[in-house]
Amino acid sequence: MSANPTVESAAAWPEIEPRLLHGNRPPPPRFPVERLPEAWRPWIEVQAQGLTGADYLAQGLLGAAAAVCGARVVADVTAQWREPLVLWQALVGEPSTGKTPALLLARGLVESIDPELAQITPALDMLARRANFRESGVTLWCDDLEEWLAAISRPEDRRLALAGWGGDAADLSHCEGYVPIEVNRFPLSIVGALQVDRTARFLNSDVEGLASRFLYAWPVPRIDVVLGGARADHKAVCVLLDRLATLPGSRSAPHPLPLLDGARDRLQAIVPLLRRFMCGTDGLEAAWIGKAPGTIVRLAGLLCLMEWAQQKREQPPAGVEEQHVERAHALWSDYFWPHAQAVFGHAGTTLAERQARRVARWLRRMRPDAVSREEIRREALCQTVDADTAEDLIERLHRYGALRPTAVETSRRRGPHKRRWAVNPDLWAN
Tell me the pairing of strands 214-217 and 88-93: parallel
Cα-based angle 200, 202, 203 (whole degrees, multiple of 5):
70
Query: In a 3-state reduction of DSSP, which class is residue 77?
Result: coil
d(Cα 324, Cα 266) in Å, to the nearest integer?
A: 10
Supply the mean pLDDT for the chain. Answer: 85
Residue 277, pLDDT above cutoff 60: yes
> Could you tell me whether strands 370-372 and 403-405 are parallel, antiparallel, or unpaired per DSSP bridges?
unpaired
Strand order, beta sheet including 88-93: 138-142, 188-195, 88-93, 214-217
All residues at 6 or more sequence positions from 7 whose CB lies less than 8 Å from its CB, including other chains: 369, 370, 406, 420, 422
95 residue type, one letter: P
pLDDT of residue 8: 47
Count of Cβ atoms closer than 10 Å to residue 173 Cβ = 10
End-to-end CA distance of the chain: 22
Asked whether 197 and 346 are in contact (CB, 8 A), the reply is: no
The amino acid that residue 361 corresponds to is: R
DSSP state letter for 259: B
**140 close to 103: Cβ distance less than 8 angstroms:** no
For the stretch 116-157, pLDDT in tens is 777 665 555 555 554 444 566 788 888 999 988 888 877 888
Q: Which long-range contacts (CB under 8 A, 24 or more apart) does 285-291 make?
A: 285/340, 285/341, 285/344, 287/209, 287/212, 288/212, 288/340, 288/344, 289/337, 290/212, 291/212, 291/213
The answer to whether 101 and 93 have CB atoms below 8 angstroms apart is no
By mean pLDDT, which of 92-106, 196-210, 234-248 is the weakest?
Answer: 196-210
- List C-alpha distances in Å: 36 to 39, 263, 386: 8, 17, 50
**pLDDT (tens digit, 9 = 90+) per residue, 398-408?**
988 999 998 76
DSSP letter string, 205-220: T-SS-GGGGEEEE-PP
Q: Is the model's pLDDT at 371 over the cut of 90?
A: yes
Q: What does the CA dihedral 48, 101, 213, 146 come to, rounded to 10 degrees?
A: 140
- In the chain, the percentage of residues whose pLDDT exceeds 70 is 83
The 10s digit of each residue's pLDDT in 155-214 is 888 888 899 999 998 876 665 544 456 778 889 999 999 998 888 888 887 767 899 999
- Specify the pTM: 0.78
Mind giving me the DSSP string for 10-26? SSPPPPPPHHHHHTTSP
Identify the structural domains of the chain with CATH numbers, from first to last: 26-348 (3.40.50), 350-428 (1.10.10.10)
| Strand-pair partners of 216 | 90
Listed in sequence order, the residues at least 6 apart from 117 whose beta carbon sits closer than 8 Å to its beta carbon are 67, 68, 110, 111, 136, 137, 138, 139
Of residues 152 and 268, more confidence is placed in 268
